[in-house]
Amino acid sequence: MLNNNRGFTLIEMLIVLMIITVLIILIVPNLSGRSADVNDKGCEALVALVQSQADAYFIESGLTATDISTLVPNYITDKQTTCPNGNELSITNGKVSL
């Protein structure tokens, strides 16, 4: 009879599955922590963008923006009043903050 030994044994398959499981256990927690970092960086960038638009408003009108809604029609969109992590932006004395 012909003896065909080209397949994988059950033990080899279990070892491969164990290695894949260990890699997934190590990688998945790191990915969830990164999304918070990305949201924080996005929020910092949004604050800088809205601050530049508040400065542009001051240069063009000569008035200091006292409320975020002052900038919405012409300088920023409605979506740019909220950070990716859900925090609302506010303006106090022309300075944008969370």
Q: What integer pLDDT is reported at residue 18 of this predicted model? A: 95
Q: Flag whether pLDDT at 2 surpasses 80.
A: no
The yes-or-no verdict on residue 5 having pLDDT over 90 is: no
pTM score above 0.75: no
Share in percent of the chain as helix, strand, coil (round to 5): 60, 10, 30
Residue 93 domain flag: yes
* Rounded (10°) CA dihedral 24, 25, 30, 36: 100
Neighbours of 89 (CB within 10 A): 20
CB 96 within 8 A of CB 90: yes
20-43 pLDDT per residue, tens: 999 988 888 777 777 778 888 889
Distance CA(60)–CA(93), nearest Å, equals 17
Overall domain count for the chain: 1
Arithmetic mean of pLDDT, 91-98? 87
Q: Which domain holds residue 45?
A: 38-98
Question: Does residue 67 register a pLDDT over 90?
Answer: no
Q: Is residue 47 part of a domain?
A: yes
Half-sphere exposure of 11 (CA within 13 A, CB side): 0
Mean pLDDT, the chain, integer: 86
